[in-house]
A = this chain, B = another copy of it.
Amino acid sequence: MALKNTKITFFDLASVYPDRRSLSLWCWTTRLVLNFKGLGYTTQFVEFPDIEPTLKPLGIPPTATKADGSPLFTVPAIIDATDPTKPPVCVSDSQEILLYLEKMYPDPLRPLIPSTTQNTGTYVPAPALYMLVKQFVLSNFMPYILPLVIEDMVPIIPPRAFEFATKAIVAAKGEGHDFLTAHFVGKEGSPEKEAYWKKLEAGFGIMALILESGEKIRADSSVSGGAGEFFMGHQVTFADFSLLAPMIMIRFASERGWERVSKWHGGRWERYWKALEEYIVVA
């Protein structure tokens, strides 16, 4: 898949799958960008307890501060050693990585951050669209996804990562809790869990409405080549990856969960997945 001869190391969160494919929403947005741009990269999978010990000595910047005031290290992160005449560039935080890659390796015919200035010829990056999708995902998807897939997800989390997460939960909530119980809302089929499915379906419903309206408007205007199924018509942008990433999280954590989502809204999300599947690749 790599078309460009770049030398990038991508730090991603490991699962127990044979290919170690990530369950991390944010790591997936970065991988989708790397794959979309056809950049050469190798993945270094790390488990949750190893993030700080791995990233800190490499000089990768922290992305936040912990409650105790010490720096917080997170994945995704990248080291770009493409230019042999310069020191490697370390970037963390999925948004910073997107901006770095878009600037260093632009693809003028298919920018991931849209611009409206098609008539002036100047490229003006406007991140509002993808930031709104990200905000929507944070508010209307994320509170429901983890509780919905947690039972199926636990066996896919490496045992050390599960224990590490549990330690933090015990510290916050007391003995008797673990990473499963902290997010558990009910067994599959229980009214509690069904209510969560309904909320998630409502969130996806709003996204379906927005995508469908775009298709209708484009079909009405005399655009050649059909309506286009992405936020910006036929053009894939980072807004699509922001919506696709939670779907990847659901599907890779819970195949039966994805079975349900994929049937919603006339099978729109199964089609959406297929249209973007070429980028959902673990290199």
Task: Please report A residues at the B interface, Cβ cutoff 8 Å.
Answer: 99, 103, 108-109, 111, 113-129, 131-133, 135-136, 139, 206, 209-211, 213-214, 217-218, 220-221, 223-224, 228, 231-235, 237, 239
Query: What B residues does A123 contact at CB under 8 A?
Result: 118, 221, 223
* A233-B126, A235-B117 known; A133 vs B132 contact (CB < 8 Å): yes
How many angstroms from the CA of A61 to the CA of B239 in the assembled complex? Answer: 35
Interchain CB contact under 8 A, B214 and A127: yes
* A115-B118, A133-B132 known; A125 vs B210 contact (CB < 8 Å): no
* Most chain B CB inside 10 Å of its own CB: which residue of A99, A126, A228: A126
**Neighbour of A210 across the interface among B111, B135, B214, B228, CB < 8 A:** B135
Interchain CB contact under 8 A, A109 and B114: no
Interchain CB contact under 8 A, B136 and A135: yes
Nearest CB on B from A257, distance (A) = 24
Interchain CB contact under 8 A, B233 and A127: no
Other than the given A117-B118, A128-B232, 12 more pairs (CB < 8 A) read A99-B220, A111-B116, A114-B126, A116-B237, A118-B118, A124-B221, A125-B221, A126-B231, A128-B211, A129-B129, A135-B206, A135-B210
Interchain CB contact under 8 A, A131 and B99: no
Query: What B residues does A111 contact at CB under 8 A?
Result: 116
Interchain CB contact under 8 A, A217 and B116: no
* A118-B115, A118-B118, A121-B118 known; A126 vs B232 contact (CB < 8 Å): yes
Interchain CB contact under 8 A, A124 and B218: yes
Interchain CB contact under 8 A, A132 and B124: no
**Which residue on chain B has the smallest CB distance to residue A135?**
B206
How many angstroms from the CA of A165 to the CA of B224 in the assembled complex? Answer: 47
Nearest CB on B from A233, distance (A) = 4
Nearest CB on B from A222, distance (A) = 10
**Which residue on chain B has the smallest CB distance to residue A140?**
B139
Interchain CB contact under 8 A, B119 and A116: no
**Which residue on chain B has the smallest CB distance to residue A117?**
B118
How many angstroms from the CA of A136 to the CA of B113 in the assembled complex? Answer: 20
Query: What B residues does A114 contact at CB under 8 A?
Result: 114, 116, 126
**Which residue on chain B has the smallest CB distance to residue A209?**
B131
**Neighbour of A124 across the interface among B117, B210, B220, B232, CB < 8 A:** B232
How many angstroms from the CA of A235 to the CA of B136 in the assembled complex? Answer: 24
Q: Which 10 pairs from chain A and chain B are nearest by CB? A: A118-B118, A132-B132, A114-B116, A128-B231, A124-B233, A116-B232, A126-B232, A131-B210, A129-B129, A116-B235
Nearest CB on B from A128, distance (A) = 4
Nearest CB on B from A127, distance (A) = 5
